[in-house]
Amino acid sequence: MARRRKPLSPQTWLFGLVSTLAIIYISYQARVAVIQNFGEQQIARTQEAMQRIQQQQLERQRQAQQPVLHQAYAPQQRSMSAQEIQLERERVAQQKEAMRQRAEQERQKNEAWERFYAPTQACEAPESQARVDICTARETRLRKEFEQRWAAGKFSQPSGA
């Protein structure tokens, strides 16, 4: 004959409910902390990459200006004529303008990419490595499509994304 369980007392039942809710809350907080940590790491990596890019750009600018400064202002075997100095200044101005135009084009391209690509909600806070892989593949596919459209001068919103 099966033995019947004695019904739980209200205190025992309430303790079990509170314990269950506490465990659920703690696990929720742990997940939020993991996701937040992942986001902070992504932000830190992005900022480091941006700083490296800025340092590289500054270094390129310094290298581009260094020979010009050396040629234009360093003592030389012979003195430069006024016409040569003017030509050198024009060349430096053209280089600066070309660099400014490249920077502006890069800024426009980055803005266009931001308008073109919007990560899905699932990709903003991926829950698994499989989701990260899917999101990375999607971003790569859209980046290729964007680059092709940008190169062709036919930039518009993504198709079938």
pLDDT tens digits for 120-149? 888 888 889 999 999 999 999 999 999 999
Q: Does the pLDDT at position 73 exceed 60?
A: no
Coil, strand or helix at 47: helix
For residue 118, the model assigns a pLDDT of 87
For residue 123, the model assigns a pLDDT of 87
Residue predicted with more confidence, 96 or 153:
96
Q: Give the Cα separation of 86 and 31 in Å (integer).
A: 65
Q: Which amino acid is at 61?
A: Q
Q: Give the Cα separation of 91 and 96 in Å (integer).
A: 9
Q: Does the pLDDT at position 47 exceed 70?
A: yes
Q: Give the Cα separation of 65 and 33 in Å (integer).
A: 48
% of the chain with per-residue pLDDT over 70 = 86
Q: Give the Cα separation of 10 and 5 in Å (integer).
A: 15
Coil, strand or helix at 46: helix
Answering whether pTM is above 0.75, one says no
Q: Does the pLDDT at position 72 exceed 60?
A: no
Backbone angle region of 52, left / alpha / beta, with phi > 0 → left and psi within -120 to 50 → alpha: alpha
> With the C-alpha atoms ordered 147, 148, 154, 157, is the resulting torsion angle positive or negative?
negative
Q: Give the Cα separation of 66 and 7 in Å (integer).
A: 87
Q: What is the separation, in whole angstroms, between the first and last Cα of the chain?
A: 63
